[in-house]
Structure 1
């Protein structure tokens, strides 16, 4: 199972939707994303304008994970990995690549919104990698975490 990491390209967008809809925890369908204003066209436009950037992990020519960020705000928008590839360092590598790129671009702060439920894998995952809660909580219950250089 060879894994290859590369920057996200506009023609990856359909695969990003597929992965997002098939994650083990918190899958979101194309229809649900569209209701939030997250459409294929909007994502392509974000990547092509340079507003967004990201990294994908590919195994046997198939996208199995991805991480996307907003250059202007420093927000990590999404990190998603297929269940079969969890626990293999894919999420950590993708997130690390995106954080490195945000740091090089001068983003400050670098932040993300994550489920505040300690029973969700992401809760411990981000904290273990050095993300720190700011104390801010969104209306949907997600808490804001900030990347702190260690």
Structure 2
């Protein structure tokens, strides 16, 4: 049996998080894709360090296998990613719950995120099943903005 743990993300986790982002089954972003968006190991580490991009990681036998990060300034769930071998076990849901609770403790009563607008993409149903609802708007990449009230 594997040993699953959850903890706050640390600056040294950024490189692993970038690697995992490129290995996700849907909506993968390579290191080059992220760099084009201005996201690098250094910028991600800095966000963790200064707590502007707080997050939580899931580890199996001490190795990061998934994570969820939020924007402490806006209340956006910035990213939730999990290695495909660990999907369907409630890990992503738990990471999201941890991030929602953290942002609630920061004073937010409404959170938002961008999600694929295609109903065939797993995240489309995942967030809705957990109570997130469409705002009726799309971001610049064509992703649907969902929100949840937590107050």
Hey, what's the Cα distance between the residues in 2 that align with 1:55 and 1:66? 6
Equivalent pairs, count: 150
Secondary structure (helix, strand or coil) at the match of 1:87 reads: coil
CA RMSD of aligned residues (A): 1.2
- Displacement of 1:139 after TM fit? 2.5
Residues 149 and 3 of structure 1, relative CA distance in 2, 3 Å threshold: same
Hey, what's the Cα distance between the residues in 2 that align with 1:101 and 1:85? 23
Secondary structure (helix, strand or coil) at the match of 2:54 reads: strand
- Displacement of 1:29 after TM fit? 0.5
- Displacement of 1:93 after TM fit? 0.2
Partner of 1:73: 74
TM-score, with structure 1 as normaliser: 0.96
- Displacement of 1:148 after TM fit? 2.7
- Displacement of 1:76 after TM fit? 0.5
Which 5+ residue runs of structure 2 have no aligned equivalent?
none
Hey, what's the Cα distance between the residues in 1 that align with 2:85 and 2:67? 14
Instruction: Tell me which stretches of 4 or more aligned residues in structure 1 moved more than 2 Å.
Output: none
Residues 50 and 149 of structure 1, relative CA distance in 2, 3 Å threshold: closer
- 1:120-131 matches, within 5 Å, as 120-131=121-132
Partner of 1:62: 63
Hey, what's the Cα distance between the residues in 1 that align with 2:40 and 2:5? 26
CA deviation string 1:88-134 (max 9, x = no partner): 00100000000000011112421100100000000000000010101
